[in-house]
Amino acid sequence: MDSYMKNLLSLTALIEAVTGLILIISPSILAMLLLGTSLDTAAALAVARLAGAAVLTIGIACWQTGSDAGSRAVQGLVAAMLFYNITAAAVLVYAGVVSGLSGVALWPAVVLHAGMAVWCARCMLQKPQ
């Protein structure tokens, strides 16, 4: 198995599992760190917790497939992660530039998602071993 892909899956599993758990348990903490504002309606909290469940699911899928990096299923997962990371970076940039929201973790999160997207793309372009 390619260690480059295994490392991507392991790091993604960790990042997304922690992020998902934070969103489920206390979504306003993450909103404050990323956007500089809390989530103050029941609807916003419910949507954030649902997003947390989805992000935690990505983490679980990455953890479970970490030992099978050459399979077509993992290739599909990495393609989905590429889309997710590009979209996450774009949404965060939009929040910062257009909406004027900004917390201490906003731009580091943009850089993290952009870097993870590049890593996903490189894994997808790599020839299977």
pLDDT, one tens digit per residue, over 57-80 is 999 999 999 778 678 889 999 999
Which amino acid, 4?
Answer: Y
Dihedral angle sign, alpha carbons of residues 123, 55, 87, 102:
negative
Q: Quick: pLDDT tens for 78-115.
A: 999 999 999 999 999 999 999 999 999 999 999 999 99
pTM equals 0.91
Q: What is the mean pLDDT of residues 37-43?
A: 95
What percent of the chain is helix, strand and coil (3-state, nearest 5)? 80, 0, 20
Mean of pLDDT over the chain: 94
Per-residue model confidence (pLDDT) at position 57:
97
Supply the range of the domain harboring residue 30: 3-125
Number of domains present in the structure of the chain: 1
**The one-letter amino acid at 11:** L
